[in-house]
Amino acid sequence: MAKKIEKQLENRNIKPTAMRELVLKILSEQTSAFSLADIENTFEKADRATLYRTLKTFEENKLIHSIDDGTGSVKYGLCKETCQCNPEDLHVHFFCTKCKHTYCLNDISIPSIILPANFRLETINMVVKGMCATCK
């Protein structure tokens, strides 16, 4: 597992450090999207600023993507290996109104959007809300 984690970091041009490897290991074990607070709660002692910088480095290098699920807390999900976080790579997210978890629906692409000529598309965020399979 350690070699796989190190390889994932190197594939995204992220220098492997002990903290980055630990954070990626934890993120790889998640079944739903996670917030900075979620990550912070898994460590007994960790500097919040270091965790935040780690997540930002992962996001800048397209290892994770941010999700605005309407809760007021940014969530993060692991990107697919080939993802470049371009609009055509983006997928739908599902927010469970009961358990409050957010899930990446990687196999459901966001429909293409055609904007007027004087607008420029930078990112798209599509969140579907309802109850997840566990809660329903």
Q: Is residue 41 part of a domain?
A: yes
Average pLDDT over residues 77-89: 77
If one counts the domains in the chain, the total is: 1
Q: Which domain range does residue 114 map to?
A: 2-130
Residue 105's pLDDT is: 93
Do 69 and 102 form a contact (C-beta atoms < 8 A)? Answer: yes
Query: What is the CATH number for 71?
Result: 1.10.10.10
Do 73 and 101 form a contact (C-beta atoms < 8 A)? Answer: no
Q: Is residue 55 part of a domain?
A: yes
Q: Is residue 9 part of a domain?
A: yes
Query: Is residue 97 over pLDDT 80?
Result: yes
Query: Is residue 88 over pLDDT 70?
Result: no
pTM given for the model: 0.84
Distance CA 16, CA 108 (A): 31
Query: Is residue 98 over pLDDT 70?
Result: yes
Residue among 80, 83, 68, 74 nearest 51 (CA): 74
| Confidence label for 23 from pLDDT (cuts 50, 70 and 90) | very high
Chain mean pLDDT for the chain: 90
Average pLDDT over residues 45-56: 92
The residue among 45 and 102 whose pLDDT is bigger is 102
Query: Is residue 48 over pLDDT 70?
Result: yes
Average pLDDT over residues 27-34: 92
Phi, psi (degrees; rounded to nearest 5) at 44: -70, -45
Condensed to tens digits (0 to 9), the pLDDT of residues 120-132 reads: 888 788 999 999 9
Residue 115's pLDDT is: 93
Q: Is residue 85 part of a domain?
A: yes
Q: Is residue 135 part of a domain?
A: no
Q: What six digits make up the tokens of 6?
A: 């190190």
